[in-house]
Structure formats: structure tokens, C-alpha cells
Amino acid sequence: MNKVKNKDELLDVSFNTMLLGKSIFAFVEFISGLLLIFVPLDLIKATIHHLALAISLSPFSTMITNAGERLTNDATLFAIVYLLLHGALKLVTLALLWKKILWSYPLSILLLVGFILYQIFEFF
């Protein structure tokens, strides 16, 4: 492995490493949204139930069981749309950042702020 010679090279290597990590995560997020389309709700609930049984800590087990019982088709649809949309937008933005297209930097910040505001809105 080549040694980094100066701070600019270190910054470039760090930035590219971060882009690679985020790209892998965005790809997994998008694929998860695609896979979730084909997984029936009953299988998801059964998996959550088995997960809760496997956890020996009672408060966490109860919390997971309650979350699984409240899971609906609408919540699953929301998760599918969110994962697909968020993953796709992130992949497009990251591809632009890899190409070092200047207007992609403010675009990525705008998308980040937009998703943060949306999640705050959903939380409240």
C-alpha cells in the first residue's frame, strides 16, 4: 500500500473511502427495498417473533414483540418506498460525487436536509 504524502492526498483518500462506504450502504438499502416487495407480512412478523424469543433480555424482547404486532401492510409499503427512494437518490448523488461534478455537492446537502426534515416530520 502506498503511503500518503501530504494532507491533500489524505483528504482525497478519506473522501473516496467515505464515498465507497456510502455507496455500498446505498446499494444494500436499495436492494433491501426490492427484496421487501417479495417478502410477505406474515413472514416478517414470524421473523420478528423468533428474533424476540432469541433475545434473552426481557425489555428488548417485549419491545420487539410489540413492534412486530403493530406492523401493518401500510408500514411495510412505507418501508419499501422509503428504502427504494432513499437508496436510489443516494446512489445517483454518489455517482455524481464520484465523477466530481461540482453541482452534486450542494445537491447532496439538499437531499440530506430534505430527508432529515421528512424524518423529523414523521417523528412528530
10, containing H or E segment: helix 7-38
Q: What's residue 56's pLDDT?
A: 67
d(CA 95, CA 93) in angstroms, rounded, equals 5
pTM: 0.77
Of the candidates 62, 63, 30, 69, the residue with the CA atom closest to the CA atom of residue 46 = 69
Q: What's residue 11's pLDDT?
A: 85
Q: What's residue 19's pLDDT?
A: 92
- Split at pLDDT 50, 70, 90, the class of 69 is confident
Q: What is the mean pLDDT of residues 83-110?
A: 92
Tally Cβ neighbours within 10 Å of residue 103. Answer: 8
Q: What's residue 87's pLDDT?
A: 94
* DSSP state string for 38-75: HS-HHHHHHHHHHHHHH---HHHHHHHHHHHHH--HHH
Q: Is 121 helix (H, G, I), strand (E, B) or coil?
A: helix
Q: What's residue 60's pLDDT?
A: 75
